[in-house]
Amino acid sequence: MERATWPRMAVLLWMLHVTQAAIPRVAVIGAGISGGSAVHFLRNLLGDEVEIVVYEASDQPGGRTLTRTFANMTIDVGGTAIYSKNKYVSGFAKLFNLPPEDENSTNDVIGIWDGSKIRIELDTDSSWLAGAKALLRYGLSPLRIIPAVRETVKKFDRIYELQDQNRSFSSPTELLMALGLFNLTQVSAYDYFSQLGVGDLFTKELIDGASRCNYNQAGNVNSFTDLISLAGAGVAGHVFGLANGTQDISKGLVKVANRLRLNDRVTEIYDAESGYVVVSNGPAEPRKDHFDGVIVATPLEMAGIKLPAEAQQRAGHGREYQSTYVTFVHGQLNASYFSHDPMKIRKLPAALFTPEDSSSPFVSFSIHKVFADDSVVVKLFSRMELQDFDVKQIFVKVFEIFRWTWKAYPKLQPMSPENWASFRLDKRALLYTSGLETSASAMEVAAIAGRNGALLMKKALASRDEFHQVPLQSEIIGTI
């Protein structure tokens, strides 16, 4: 190389170094749907002009989307049902070529099971809520909720338009107010439906039943969450599952991160002069790493992350999570347990809702598959662990059992606004997604919160006076 080219090389290297240093680094904590959505949308917004590092405490991405194999079939242990009008989650499934579940071998009947008998069976095939059977039992109540559900879905859908216009929100309450939905979070479903003139029987059987099935909680949850969960029940669209499970969505979303650190639990985030230091328990050793911005995409109640004092103040107060015990059983059902004709066991409703006063050990029951030998795979949710004794009553033969316990969703009762977490945990670039879950807990809600995190992050990074002019590697404290 000629001597004269040296200074030019040095200038080029220096320029490369400055360009490198100018690329902001963002940490996303949690590789569930909200973290994945934040990664996906941040990459869309900033292209290669951002370095994204995902920390995940577990050994794989997914969080509450968890897919397993059981009885030679795919089962979703957490988030399962996708509502057809949910643009993000159904869009991600299409983007990653994830096929929907085949029409399954089960019927479309819901039964209300009180622990000793099935009170009513309703075929959910067509507009069942407005059908003669429902009207005969519940009077006009079902007709009263339909317009309310449609109105809520219409308002909720505006979020897509707003986020497409790059509108971001500082807090969940601001987001819900912009959609005209916040007031619904401040009143319980019981009170809301009673104001609509919905009768007691309908509330106790179907509102409670659906609410218990979706959130393992009664209809004293906030009315917003119940209204949007009823949308999929044939009122405005339909729900579907994925043939290979929902966890593939989370896995697909985080692929566009620069680095995915599995088995790496974040224990602390603290302020640094030009950003944040993220402290974590890596698989081999504890480490500290520097970032310009951080998106916390996991409920802080369970995350065990120490935050700066100001951020802790903005992280919400008093939210608890509902424990949910999920039990999958492959076996042969005991028809007499359900007071059902053993010859017609295939006609047992594929979904059983239970009222709050039910004596049933499970809160919901759904048949996922019926095999040629009439054995079935059933998914049961309960508030306490289902004992072998309970399982043996429900099934005459048990071939296989799978159990999982979740801190599944927040207790979704109305919570006054001052206790809600913010999306912005400080005035800089420490952001949070899981505050939106105080209103409703679903994969789509997580995806919306993730996109909001990405939009806020873009703004926060742009408003910084300057990125630190030091090489990336020398800023890193510890190992990558």
With CB under 6 A as the contact rule, the residue among 24, 26, 28, 34 that binds ligand FAD is 34
With CB under 6 A as the contact rule, the residue among 112, 129, 303, 350 that binds ligand FAD is 303
Q: Which is nearer to ligand FAD, 137 or 293 (CB)?
A: 293
Rounded distance between C-alpha atoms, residue 364 and residue 411, angstroms: 17
CB of 351 to ligand FAD, least distance (A): 12
With CB under 6 A as the contact rule, the residue among 231, 233, 235, 266 that binds ligand FAD is 266
With CB under 6 A as the contact rule, the residue among 26, 46, 408, 425 that binds ligand FAD is 408
CB 294 within 8 A of CB 453: no
CB 79 within 8 A of CB 404: no
- List the structure tokens of 477: 């404290």
With CB under 6 A as the contact rule, the residue among 32, 252, 410, 453 that binds ligand FAD is 32
Is position 442 an interface residue for ligand FAD (rule: CB under 6 A)?
yes
Residues in contact with ligand FAD, shown as a per-residue x/- string from 245 to 264 under the rule CB under 6 A: --------------------
Nearest CA-CA partner of 248 in 67, 42, 74, 75: 67
Rounded distance between C-alpha atoms, residue 459 and residue 102, angstroms: 42
With CB under 6 A as the contact rule, the residue among 39, 71, 81, 129 that binds ligand FAD is 81
Rounded distance between C-alpha atoms, residue 203 and residue 276, angstroms: 49
With CB under 6 A as the contact rule, the residue among 50, 71, 80, 120 that binds ligand FAD is 80
Is position 441 an interface residue for ligand FAD (rule: CB under 6 A)?
yes
CB of 324 to ligand FAD, least distance (A): 5
Q: Which is nearer to ligand FAD, 167 or 306 (CB)?
A: 306
Residues in contact with ligand FAD, shown as a per-residue x/- string from 90 to 129 under the rule CB under 6 A: ----------------------------------------
Nearest CA-CA partner of 249 in 30, 449, 88, 408: 88
Nearest CA-CA partner of 159 in 137, 175, 172, 138: 175
CB of 333 to ligand FAD, least distance (A): 22
Residues in contact with ligand FAD, shown as a per-residue x/- string from 40 to 79 under the rule CB under 6 A: ---------------xxxx----xxx------------xx
CB of 449 to ligand FAD, least distance (A): 7
| Cβ partners under 8 Å of residue 6, min gap 6 | none
Q: Which stretch binds ligand FAD (CB under 6 A): 31-39, 130-138, 166-174, 357-365?
A: 31-39
With CB under 6 A as the contact rule, the residue among 28, 326, 378, 415 that binds ligand FAD is 326
Q: Which stretch binds ligand FAD (CB under 6 A): 108-116, 158-166, 251-259, 403-411?
A: 403-411
Rounded distance between C-alpha atoms, residue 7 and residue 208, angstroms: 75
Neighbours of 273 (CB within 10 A): 5
Q: Which is nearer to ligand FAD, 297 or 454 (CB)?
A: 297
Burial (CB count within 10 angstroms: exposed 0-12, middle 13-18, buried 19+), residue 263? middle
CB 233 within 8 A of CB 124: yes
Is position 35 an interface residue for ligand FAD (rule: CB under 6 A)?
yes
Is position 324 an interface residue for ligand FAD (rule: CB under 6 A)?
yes
With CB under 6 A as the contact rule, the residue among 26, 27, 28, 30 that binds ligand FAD is 30
Nearest CA-CA partner of 232 in 155, 294, 152: 152
Q: Which stretch binds ligand FAD (CB under 6 A): 129-137, 300-308, 355-363, 411-419?
A: 300-308
CA-CA distances (angstroms) from residue 380 to 7, 276, 356, 358, 473?
Answer: 71, 43, 16, 15, 50
Binding site for ligand FAD (CB under 6 A): 29-35, 55-58, 63-65, 78-81, 265-266, 297-298, 303-305, 324, 326, 406, 408-409, 434, 441-444, 446
